[in-house]
Amino acid sequence: MTLYDRVGDERLRVLLYAFYRRAAQHPELGPVFTRVLGPFPRAGWPVHLLRIEGFWRTVMGGAGAYRGAPGPAHQSLGIDASHFEAWLHLWREALNETLPSPDAEAVYQLAARMRVNLQRVATTPVPRAGEN
Ligand code: HEM
C-alpha cells in the first residue's frame, strides 16, 4: 500500500486547499503567489491546484499524472531560504490539521527533501542571454 493509497484523493484535496489558503494570506509567501496566480481561490488557482494535486499524487506513489518541471517554475520568483522556511512551516500546520501523524510526517519529509534542490535552483541567479 502506497502513501497515496492511505491518504486518498479527498484528503489530499483538503490538505492542498488548507495549505494554499494559508500560503495566499501569508505576509511573505502571499504576494509571490498572488503575483503569479492572482487572488486565491480564483484566477489561476484552480489550474494550479489541479497541477499540484497531480504532483503530490505522483510523489506519494500514486498513478503518475504530473508532467511538469518544479525546478524552472521556482527559478525567477525572487524567493530565498526564508520563503522555503515559511512554506514548510505552513505545510506542517496544514498536514497536522488534515492527516494522521505517521502520514503527516511522511508527506512532510517528502517536501523537506525536495526543498534542498528547489531552494538551490530558486536562489541561483539565472544567466541572461549572452552572459556566461
Ligand atoms: C519544498 C517546497 C516546495 C514544493 C514541493 C513546491 C512545489 C511546486 C510545484 C510542484 C509547482 C508546479 C510546477 C509546475 O509544474 O508548473 C509549484 C509552482 C509554484 N510554486 Fe512551489 N513549491 C515549493 C516551494 C515554493 C515556495 C517557497 C514558493 C514561494 C512563494 C513557491 C511558489 C510557487 C509558485 C508561485 C508557483 C507557480 C509557478 C507558475 O505557475 O509559473 N513554491 N511549486
Residues contacting residue 78 through CB under 8 Å, at least 6 positions apart: 32
Q: Among all chains, which residue has been given the C-alpha cell 497541477? A: 51
For residues 75 and 122, give the distance between their C-alpha atoms in angstroms, rounded to a whole number. Answer: 4
Percent above pLDDT 70 for the chain: 99
Which residues line the pocket of ligand 1, CB cutoff 6 A?
Answer: 29, 32-33, 36, 51-52, 55, 68-70, 73-74, 77, 79, 83-84, 87, 111, 114-115, 118
Atom of ligand 1 nearest to the CA of 36: 35
What pLDDT, on the 0 to 100 scale, is given for residue 125?
A: 86
ipTM: 0.97
As separate numbers, helices (DSSP H) first and strands (DSSP E) second, the chain gives 6, 0
> How many whole angstroms from 102 Cα to the centroid of ligand 1?
24
**Cell numbers placing 116:** 534542498
What pLDDT, on the 0 to 100 scale, is given for residue 127?
A: 78
Q: Please indicate whether residue 130 or residue 11 has the higher confidence score (pLDDT).
A: 11
**Cell numbers placing 110:** 517528502
Q: pTM of the entire structure? A: 0.95
- Residue of 87, 90, 115 to mutate, ligand 1, most atoms within 8 A of C-beta: 87
What pLDDT, on the 0 to 100 scale, is given for residue 132?
A: 61
Question: What does the domain layout of the chain look like in residue ranges?
Answer: 3-123
**Cell numbers placing 96:** 497536522
**Residue 74 assigned ligand-binding role:** yes
Report the mean per-residue pLDDT for the chain: 95
What DSSP designation does 126 have?
A: P
> How many whole angstroms from 75 Cα to the centroid of ligand 1?
10
Give per-residue pLDDT as tens, 43-74: 999 999 999 999 999 999 998 779 999 999 99
User: In CATH terms, is domain 3-123 a member of 1.10.490.10?
Assistant: yes
